[in-house]
Amino acid sequence: MNLLASPDQPTLEDFGHDVWWIVLIKIVGVFVVLVLMTLFAIVFERKVVARMQQRVGPNRVGPRGYLQSLADGLKLAFKEDIMPALADKPVYFLAPVIATIPAFLAFSVIPLGPTVSIFGERTPLQLTDAPIGVLVVLACSAMGIYGIVLGGWASGSTYPLLGSMRSAAQMISYEIAMGLSIVAVFLYAGTMSTSEIVAAQADGNQVSFFGWEFTGPSWFAVLLPVSFVIYAIAVVGETNRAPFDLPEAESELVGGFHTEYSSLKFALFFLAEYINMVTVSALAATLFLGGWRAPWPLSIWDGANTGWWPLLWFFLKVVAALFVFIWLRGTLPRLRYDQFMRFGWKVLVPTALVWILVVATMRTVSREADLSTGQVALFVGVPVALVVLAGLLVASRAANRDTRLMAEQASAGAVHAVDPEPEVLPPAGARRRPTGGPSRAEGGFPVPPMDLKVPPSPRLRHTAPADGAVVSTGRRGTATVEEDGDV
Amino acid sequence: MTETLSGGETVVFWVLGPIALAGALGMVFSRNAVHSALWLVNTMLALGVFYVVQSAPFLGAAQIIVYTGAIMILFLFVLMLVGRDSSDSVVETLRGQRVAAAVLGLGFAALVGAGIARATQDLVVSGLGDDGGNANVTAIAELLYTRYLLAFEATGALLIVAAVGALVYTQIERAPGSRRGQKELARARFLTTDRPQTLPGPGVYARANSVAAPALLPDGTTTEESFATGIEPQEVDQMPRPTGREQLGSPDGALGTLDPAPSDRGDGR
């Protein structure tokens, strides 16, 4: 730990001494930042996804469409507020509030910058910090689950209930993986306070590689790559974002937990989701990407880590993380629920546990053998990462071995690779009607009743009355009466 | 109680104390199981804040994350499955049991309360003082991993065994190969049929949306693959398909006249 990295680096002792109006300014500032980031993130997401799908995206409201989310938000506030008849009224009302408040609270421990001067008062650019800073974020995300779960339950409707059941199981599972991924950062930084974790990533590690001295990177994303990857995957599940947006899978559950919500209550859910996205992006920047500290080429400039500049680096990192979220949404299809849970419990959690073991071993070795962090990371971490990557490669090849072999056989002419008459999705037994229909109905596709007679459509022209019919084409507003010439 | 509380601590206590108590009472008296659980969550949250205020931030965070965040969510998960309308029955099956339970409960509470009050009567409360904060976290870690290591590991092993045991009991055994999984089915479909995807649906036209209406290929002919099984495909009479200025005419040409625009005439086919 290098707390003396910079005189502006706040430590835990710097918190809790602010004047009341500084605290007020910071609270309002965090609130405004979060709301603005939400407005920005929605437009940004729509623009980026549109670009990925070769569309233009919102381009009507404001300059180049950048005020679209503001207009949408205003519109949402003026919509009719519907209380379903079967709703559990107090819980239905409370749920969006419970979802939103922790989302705002979690951002209070995120460090936005070094100690700066606000109207002559020296104060860190961070609302507050605690010895358990990161745990505050975890606690808030744990509370946020209640909003979603209760919202789905209180709606008194099937799809929201299913959505909330899914989200309860999903968010607990992925919170475990997320918490475990952060443990390695705690081990390396030696603290759980966010400002000190940023401080721990301040200076590069001096590494001597066969007599060649250089300064290694100090970001935990580089030192602890496995943790970073697990964190990145877990927070996508934790924030209910595609491809893990099963609680609101629109093709399965209409809108999921918020199907019955409208107007401001829905807006609160929407706000909470995007704030959560911003918060986990900010936490990713804090824990793994050096926080508000300038990245390498910029950090050569001495002034990069002082004053208000770090605010810029910090938000650039947050926007980059947001972009990854949107990128994932634009690229990946939604997982099936069982695949998703299996991935969480059988891949993420065990990997995180083994990784913690490796990190703890590395720490012990470096302490006993008196090596520097960078050396251990270089001589142990890099080989371990390579072994893990090679293992994953072999595992994926092995998992797909059957498919590869069968595909080769199929391309070599053996068309029926599985068995001569593959029974693909047999029609449901009891409801299957005796069919004498065309043989292609045996392909396993649903078969309609064979005695079905489709009544002729009154709109079909050749069954229409032969005398003059009124045909309104809607063109140019001239409804014309004409002779039906072709009957 | 020799040491007086600081101002902020007093305010927090007198605000959260009644809230915690109200949560406990609400949990007991709610008819709806989910409401009961919510009241309990309320109490647990208040307790978590109490821990933080008393210089035990780690304990407070663990209380909120583990008990409120994980365990109570699991409770809710089960309660939600029970159904919304299943409230407690108010029919008393054992006569007088409610009065007896109330009396015994109050008596027990009085006994325990009196015992604790007497035991702590002249105790000097020193508080954690400067050992709160970071030192508190490291102190807990040190105790857990040195003095209470065995108890800690044994508890962990017990929980794991319980979880795995529950999983084993709910597992349904299937003879291997007796049922093809989704992966095998998908593989078979892709490798053995000419068409792994679904057949095209019927056509949807302005004048027909029946399953009997076949879909069109880009060149305008109907595709046989979209014929519905067992139904005679019906030919749909379509609007003439304007392709250019020649058929469409000038849209403004029809303005102000009673003559229909050229493409409205219906003789295009």
Instruction: Give the closest-approach CA distance of A2 to chain B in angstroms.
Output: 17
**Least confident among A59-68, A231-240, B259-268:** B259-268
Q: Strand, helix or coil at A208?
A: strand
Q: Which has more pLDDT, A340 or B197?
A: A340
Predicted local distance difference test score (pLDDT) of residue B5:
59
pLDDT per residue over B122-178, tens digit each? 777 766 665 555 677 888 888 888 889 999 999 999 999 998 898 888 877 777 767
Chain A residues touching residue B68 (CB < 8 angstroms): 142-143
Residue A172 located in a structural domain: yes
Residue A16 has pLDDT above 90, yes or no: no
List the CATH number of the domain containing B57. 1.20.120.1200
Predicted local distance difference test score (pLDDT) of residue A480:
43
Residue A468 has pLDDT above 50, yes or no: no
Residue B240 located in a structural domain: no
- B21 and B71 share a domain? yes
Predicted local distance difference test score (pLDDT) of residue B20:
92
Q: Averaged over A196-200, what is the pLDDT?
A: 83
Q: Averaged over A133-144, what is the pLDDT?
A: 88
Residue A438 located in a structural domain: no
| Dihedral sign from CA coordinates of A458, A459, A463, A469 | positive
CA-closest candidate to residue A247, choices A342, A152, A144, A174 = A152
The number of distinct structural domains making up chain A is 1
Domain range for A336 is 9-201+221-367
Residue B219 located in a structural domain: yes
Q: Averaged over A307-333, what is the pLDDT?
A: 88
Q: Specify whether the CB–CB gap between A18 and A123 falls below 8 A.
A: yes
Q: Specify whether the CB–CB gap between A374 and A206 falls below 8 A.
A: yes
pLDDT per residue over B191-201, tens digit each? 776 777 778 88
Predicted local distance difference test score (pLDDT) of residue A205:
61
Question: Which tokens in the block code for residue A346?
Answer: 């059988």
CA A378 to chain centroid, in Å, comes to: 31
Predicted local distance difference test score (pLDDT) of residue B154:
95
d(CA A362, CA A318): 30
Number of other CB atoms surrounding residue A338 within 10 Å: 9
Q: Which has more pLDDT, A414 or A456?
A: A456
Residue B220 located in a structural domain: yes
Residue A110 located in a structural domain: yes
Contact status of A162 with chain B (Cβ, < 8 Å): no
Instruction: Give the closest-approach CA distance of A339 to chain B in angstroms.
Output: 11
Contact status of A330 with chain B (Cβ, < 8 Å): no
- Residue whose token pair is 């700066």: A116
pTM: 0.73
Question: Which tokens in the block code for residue A127?
Answer: 């609302």
pLDDT per residue over A100-138, tens digit each? 999 999 888 888 888 887 777 778 888 888 888 888 898
Question: Which tokens in the block code for residue A315?
Answer: 């938000």
d(CA A320, CA A464): 62
Amino acid at A312: L
Predicted local distance difference test score (pLDDT) of residue B104:
94
Longest Cα–Cα distance in chain A: 101
Number of other CB atoms surrounding residue A222 within 10 Å: 17
Share of chain A above pLDDT 70, in %: 78
Among B35, B65, B191, beta carbon nearest to A138 = B65
Q: Strand, helix or coil at B240?
A: coil
Q: Are B77 and A165 a contacting pair at CB < 8 A? A: yes
The number of distinct structural domains making up chain B is 3
Question: Which tokens in the block code for residue A45?
Answer: 């997401």
Predicted local distance difference test score (pLDDT) of residue A474:
43
pLDDT per residue over A180-193, tens digit each? 889 888 888 888 88
- Boundary of a domain, candidates B149, B168, B187: B168
Strands (E), A327-484: 470-471, 480-481
Predicted local distance difference test score (pLDDT) of residue B157:
94
* Predicted complex ipTM exceeds 0.90: no
Amino acid at A145: I
What are the residues whose beta carbons fall under 8 Å from the beta carbon of A457, sequence distance 6 or more? A463, B207, B208, B210, B234
Amino acid at B78: V
Q: Are B230 and A192 a contacting pair at CB < 8 A? A: no
d(CA A268, CA A63): 26
User: A146, A180, A339, A404: best mutation site toward chain B, by most B Cβ within 10 Å?
Assistant: A146
Residue A424 located in a structural domain: no
Q: Strand, helix or coil at B91?
A: coil
How many CB contacts within 8 angstroms connect chain A with chain B?
189
Predicted local distance difference test score (pLDDT) of residue B127:
65
Residue A54 Rama label (left phi>0; alpha psi -120 to 50; beta) = left
Predicted local distance difference test score (pLDDT) of residue A422:
46
Contact status of A165 with chain B (Cβ, < 8 Å): yes
d(CA A116, CA A157): 51
Predicted local distance difference test score (pLDDT) of residue B158:
95
Predicted local distance difference test score (pLDDT) of residue A334:
85
For chain B, the C-alpha Rg in angstroms (whole number) is 37
Instruction: Give the closest-approach CA distance of A136 to chain B in angstroms.
Output: 7
d(CA A167, CA B262): 58
Domain range for B223 is 202-235
Residue A44 has pLDDT above 60, yes or no: yes
**Strand-pair partners of A145:** none
Residue B242 located in a structural domain: no
Predicted local distance difference test score (pLDDT) of residue A399:
77
Residue B192 located in a structural domain: no
Predicted local distance difference test score (pLDDT) of residue B217:
83
- B74 and B16 share a domain? yes
Instruction: Using pLDDT thresholds of 50, 70 and 90, give the confidence band for residue A10.
Output: confident
Positions of chain B with pLDDT lower than 50, given as ranges: 1-2, 261, 263-269
Among B32, B73, B189, beta carbon nearest to A424 = B189
Residue A441 located in a structural domain: no
Predicted local distance difference test score (pLDDT) of residue A275:
92
CA-closest candidate to residue A109, choices A127, A132, A123, A135 = A127
What are the residues whose beta carbons fall under 8 Å from the beta carbon of B49, sequence distance 6 or more? B12, B16, B60
Residue A456 located in a structural domain: no
